Amino acid sequence: MKRRNFIKKIGFAAGAPLAFQGVPLKLIASDSRMHRLASQSSNDNVLVILQMHGGNDSLNTFIPIENYSQYYSKRANIAIPFKSGRRTLIPLDSTVPSADQVGVHPDMRDFKDMYDNGMAAVFQGVSYERNNGSHFRGRDIWHMGGGPDDYFSSGWIGRYLKQEYAPKSYPDDFPNDEMPDPLALEMGNSLSLVFHQENNIPTSISLDRAPDSLLKKVEGLEGFVDDGIDPRGLPPTFLNDSPYGKEMDWILGLEDKSEIYIRRLAEIYAKSTETSVTYPDKYPFRADSTNPLSKQLKLVARLLEGGAKTKVFLVRIGGFDTHADQTEAGDPTVGSHAALLYHISTAMNAFQKDLEAKGLADKVLTMTMSEFGRRVQSNGSYGTDHGTGGALMLFGKHINAGIYGTNPDLNDRNIAMQFDYRQIYAGILNDWMGVDESTLTNDIFFQNFITGGTYQPLELISSVEDNFLKKHFKISNLHPNPATNYVQIEIQVNDVQPTTIELINISGSVVKTVFRNLIPGKHNVTFDLSNLPGGIYFIKAKSTKLNDTKRLFVRK
């Protein structure tokens, strides 16, 4: 079999996806700027970009609490309930100023749990100037890292590599010992601008089955030997260095690397193990709504566990263009949008647990993106129309968890910009990927997002061990201490918590116990000490998320 027929038989083609374990992937070639970033990177950190395709309605994702009545008046037909019924919004953080407090959708319980454990953050009002609410133009802008008047031919990470690293020769020099893997993988059937090469020719490989089974097929192909006779012919010399000639060289050269990449991916996958974590499959309230992220994220975890040096992954979930039927007419807490939020929250929670179980949680950060938000006011079709600003989420063990920005002004038609999306990109590149600020401002974003002439960094990553959970669930005070006849225990929680409070003596015996069903906020519990002998005691408060102990001196 000649190599041209081999290409047709296997399914390699320009721009086609790589179907790996049932997940379509895009494999970026070794001379792309993404590869050069990874080869020069000073760390092994990984970025996962989660694309929410269609424009997410952030107001039904993060519901303003202080201005809830105004929120309800603007979108009564789709508003998430506050205090009535079984399914209501979940307050996210009672410790932030009241103007900033939000509730998450009732199907985002897993997001709430990740937040409380310091593994999730939300940025309000993320956009760019003169956002026109266009799907295609909006996605291009987010992928290229430019402004509304820019038309860059490369992605936001790629421009850094153009300035800092000399081009590699592909396919001759790749893969090699230092870079054996595809350094960027994209799930889905299209190649995003963020991963384009400098000459805009996407380098992709299409596989029609799992690498291990495909490798057996490749090894069994009869006559896959280049004996120096190739009937394919060569392009005429006048096409050398032309765009057409370069694309032809790419197509003809791709076949020479195909078996190597297949073999490498099969080896990586074989080294990994099946996860012990259960990834979600179905949305409980819609049997036909399968979680599209679970298979993608599970694959990312397995490839990383197998030793892949891939630096950037892009996973996708669509369906956010919710002009109609965003919610069901009889219940605004369920519907297509609720299912999508459930899929993201549960899949990301499973992914984080999977990474932790595999010992990979320290090296992976996930960022969401959506081309725009939705308008403040709902429409008459139980939906929302194209808007501008929206919310962006970060996930990871080392992010600075919290709510950044404040709730939008609901008197406006659209959600105003509080953060230029490139600030967050720059923060990730600086804090996570190790890119210096000079390169960020001069070579990647061309200073077109700088405020007041100076780059304003965002501290997205925590450089020290910061126990977010203990800051939000704790015994905040014992008063008086030392105590004589009574002690008042102030307990802070950030979620609904059935809580047990115990008074324990120095020998470890429980002297008194009370039970309280605490809601987010601070609560006081009083213990009578009048019949107790003096000495050292301990106050212990425990619940699902709370486990704190304070020493108490009783004086008689």
Do 385 and 515 share a domain, yes or no? Answer: no
pLDDT tens for each residue of 199-257: 533 333 333 344 555 455 545 544 444 444 444 455 667 767 777 666 666 555 555 55
Residues in the chain: 556
Q: Which residue has the higher pLDDT, 364 or 252?
A: 364
Distance from C-alpha of 180 to C-alpha of 549, rounded to nearest angstrom = 51
Residue range of the domain that includes 511: 473-554
Indicate if 527 and 425 belong to the same structural domain: no
Q: What pLDDT is attached to residue 308? A: 86
State the pLDDT at residue 77: 97
State yes or no: pLDDT of 37 exceeds 50: no
The CA distance from 545 to 493, in Å, is 8
Instruction: Return phi, psi of residue 349, to 5°.
Output: -65, -45
Q: What is the mean pLDDT of residues 504-510?
A: 96
> Do 194 and 303 share a domain, yes or no?
yes
Q: Distance between CA atoms of 204 and 247, rounded to whole angstroms?
A: 12
In a domain, 375, yes or no: yes
Query: Is 288 a residue whose pLDDT tops 90?
Result: no
Confirm whether 378 is domain-assigned: yes
What ranges in 494-535 are assigned the alpha helix state H? none
486 has which bridge partners? 528
- The predicted-structure confidence for 76-113, as pLDDT tens digits, reads as follows 999 999 987 789 999 999 999 999 999 999 999 999 99
Q: 528: pLDDT confidence band, cut at 50, 70 and 90?
A: very high
Torsion of CA 487, 489, 490, 494, to 10 degrees: -170
Whole-number Å distance between alpha carbons of 333 and 474: 31
Determine, yes or no, domain membership for 454: no
Picking from 499, 510, 504, 507, the residue whose alpha carbon sits closest to that of residue 475 is 499
CA distances from 36 to 111, 158, 198, 460, 530 (A): 34, 9, 12, 24, 71
pTM: 0.85
| Alpha-carbon torsion (176, 180, 186, 190), positive or negative | positive
Gap between the Cα atoms of 42 and 464, Å rounded: 19
Give the percent of the chain with pLDDT over 90.
Answer: 57
Q: Are residues 293 and 377 in the same domain?
A: yes
Residues 337 and 397 in one domain: yes
Report if residue 464 sits inside a domain: no
Tell which of 425, 444, 463 closes a domain. Answer: 444
- Assess whether 20 and 80 both reside in one domain: yes
Tokens of 310: 């891939």
Are 66 and 198 found together in one domain?
A: yes
Same domain, 265 and 384: yes
Are 421 and 494 contained in the same domain? no
Locate 449 and state its tokens: 């997002």
Query: Which position has the higher pLDDT, 228 or 443?
Result: 443
Residue 438 has phi, psi (to 5 degrees) of -60, -45
The domain total for the chain is 2
pLDDT by residue (tens digit) across 100-157? 999 999 999 999 999 999 999 999 999 999 998 999 999 999 988 888 998 887 787 6
More confident of the two residues 221 and 380: 380
Q: Rounded mean pLDDT of the chain?
A: 82
In a domain, residue 85? The reply is yes
For the stretch 154-175, pLDDT in tens is: 787 666 445 443 345 444 555 6
Distance (Å, whole) CA 489 – CA 365: 38
Q: Give the C-alpha separation, 252 to 246, whole Å.
A: 10
Q: What's the mean pLDDT in 445-453?
A: 76
Note whether 188 and 336 are same-domain residues.
Answer: yes
Label residue 11 by pLDDT band (50, 70, 90): very low
Average pLDDT of the segment spanning 341-360? 97
Whether 217 is in a domain gets the answer: yes
How would you class 78 by CB atoms within 10 Å of its CB: exposed for 0-12, middle for 13-18, buried for 19 or more?
Answer: buried
Whether pLDDT at 284 is above 80: yes
Domain-embedded: residue 89: yes
Strand runs labelled E in 480-546: 486-493, 497-505, 510-518, 521-528, 535-542
pLDDT recorded at residue 309: 80
- Identify the CATH number of the domain in which residue 488 sits: 2.60.40.1930
In a shared domain, residues 517 and 418? no
Residues 190, 77: one domain? yes
> Is residue 174 domain-resident?
yes
